[in-house]
Structure 1
Amino acid sequence: MTSIKTACLAVGDAQIYKVKATLADLHVAADDLSAGDLSDFHSMQTGRDPAEVFPKAIDETTHAIKFGSRVLAVGGHAGGGIWFVTTNVVTELSKAERYRFYRILKSHLEDIKRGNSSGVALTNYVAVSNRAHVRLLEVLGATFQADHAMSPAGFPFKQFWL
């Protein structure tokens, strides 16, 4: 696991860093999901509220990436079901800050893979329409199913593996 010291990159007066997520971090993320991730959430299954779903996802694998004191992203990978969502804070990042965010995310993924001694597949689904998330997954080395599956809400999703 990458230490806070190595996962922390200075950005002006603020830092981008990874920490163990708290319930408060999940609530903040649920209340400020980026447009693409909020659309994904509702496209998967209708009638859900992120503020009710996200707190149930906290476990030993759940981390937050923060920009100063602000939640930039949260995610986890219990049982191989890898997930990651961003908040609207991501839209405020400069190109250099986005790159620093990506480097922390990539380093965290490498840590997860190194710690995956059981060889459990890291997988999930992403909405075909969430182009920003699909591009990020591609850069992180994801492979995707050839076709797509329809979500319970009736939208096309692709399964991916990291």
Structure 2
Amino acid sequence: MICTVRDEHIRKLIMEDISMTWKCTLDDGTVVWGDYERPGVPESPWVRLQEFCKENGRCVAKAQVIVMGAPEEVVFEDENGLDGFFIARGFSKDIDMVTGDGPSYQHMTFGLLEDSLERVDVKKYSWPECEFEDFSQKRKATQENLSFMIWRDGETKKQSEQVQVTLNG
């Protein structure tokens, strides 16, 4: 089950819980929301979207980051579909060694496999700064990061021998 409407859960996630999320537009125009912590749904929204795309021959054409107090920002976009794409969410906290308290941070990391098939273009958005980090990383394509990706249907980067060797060892 993917979330295709900005419902009360999404509103609460963004406006009350002050949580960062994503919105993806699929190649058929369907808009999917990252509905983290939805009651009764144990899987992450990314895993559900990954399964939905695989089962229905869909792929992500546009990915946006959503956070309260900041405009929606397009991270990656390709009208033909992003081929080899992932999103990961993370949290961190600075801890004061005396009080045990400190500020919390949220991060949304987006990755897109480059056409060379050797590196992943990684962009990281941070809260409370509400901006992308100043640098963009190029990470080596690994079995782990390739396994989190959504692939375009048909002749894709995933079918290449180089990606298959990395994925399957």
Bigger fraction of residues in helix: 1
Q: Between Structure 1 and Structure 2, whose CA radius of gyration is higher?
A: 2
Q: Which has the higher contact order (CA 8 A, sep 6+)?
A: 1
Looking at secondary structure, tell me which structure has more strand per residue: 2
Q: Is the pair's TM-score, using the shorter chain for normalization, greater than 0.5?
A: no
> TM bucket by the smaller chain?
under 0.3
